Structure 1
């Protein structure tokens, strides 16, 4: 028998029912497969084929022993979980605040409270906590030359869940940590960027426990808002790589007053003749917002602008406008000719 190739969890509800039936003496593959529950019932034909085989009384004895051992360990885990919950009852608010940090779950929050005591008064700053955990940048300098340094060992009991939390946090593409990871990994490497994200999470832990507040995500557009000119240069560079040029200027049209304005022009001779294309995006400030004299207009080539470029143009231009004018931005992201 090899029904582990069909069921991903052998001791789940379906696997446990089949094993109990085998221990009780049932050997008919069809009757055993009919014990499947939930989505596993879609795999009944495969289960029937996998349950063809020999299952002796010695096998039944060993399976009974292992199932009893699993039950004993589960009861022990439940007992310790109950004890931990009792000891951390006074730290419930801190646990809830830590749970708001991306990648940090209930178990990781309990480990953090257990290892640090939950009192950040013993750490002078967030950097001291990161150094104690062992996720601060290494220091390796000789004769005024800084070399790549390894991180210190630190507290491995916290460093392990922090690594897991960092890998989970970067999966959310709309979060600040994911944007920070992409920013670092582009010029360094994935492993170094992951350690940098762990350092960011350690700093967030200190502030959450020190200020007794929940985590506030800065958003994936934080870096674009912090340095709008750099975001513009990056967008121009991406447009140039696609054979286009992008220019930002102020609109002189009265009907576009108060909106952000840019034009897209081709650089290749085959795309010079566009005619009077439709606007790529039209972004206006919110109702009642103070007009800044900036407008947005654009024209499409005959084949249209690639969706990726149009999306980046919209997001970056919106971030730049909100950062400079301080008003919400609305617009259309359609990159194809209407």
Structure 2
């Protein structure tokens, strides 16, 4: 791992912890993590980008780790999350940057490119696609599709419910989240609506090859002091995000965009329609499906992700 400078920036009404590496004169690249991850999920990309000459910025997103975790649920809507990154760019004197996001970080990255296209020179999103503003909030659709059956997004909606399960044993929760593709996905179980997320799942005997015990320790540290509440609050803003995104209806994603997904990632099947429609709203799109790869794409296939990312940036955002 490259030497990292850790800075705490007062931005957008919170304190945002950002890990920074690379030459001060290097062009800025932002790496945005998802759920239930942390800045360390970019451990394989940071040194590759630094060697290429970029100045890399890896925030601990709002609600995670050393960054602030405001109490109100509405403090975790996409406007606030995007505002954190734009505020941090302002604080560091950056007019434009390349933005890379995975999972929820991908949603923030997509919306940064929509809310502030003049600030995002190149965009790379991993695992979560975008095909425009939906006609209804996702939670409304899920309540109809999963009537009487478990759905993890609906389970996450009630404050305190998922926290009680996940916070009871943070290490076990993370081991269950980070199962290898093919071992059974806690997000995709078919069970009654009143079940809990991990019901019926034994704790894996070993971590996947891409996550060592030392790596897991970084994730545990992220949640140890305040649990999963802040991270779960991201899921509790679907309807708020949908209301606020009305001005984005019909808007195209303008920056050149790289999209990567694993063929064993549940998103590849659950979001098949979105993936099909994505080129309609992302005109400058390059997309790749990585074979034999699950959801934790930048860790499962670091060499492939780095090669594709560096090639893309080299053409659209050279160091």
Q: Return the TM-score normalized by structure 2.
A: 0.19
Tell me which protein shows more helix as a share of its residues.
1
If the length of structure 1 is used for normalisation, what is the TM-score? 0.18
Choose between structure 1 and 2 for higher RCO, CA contacts under 8 A separated by at least 6 residues: 2
Bigger radius of gyration among the two: 1
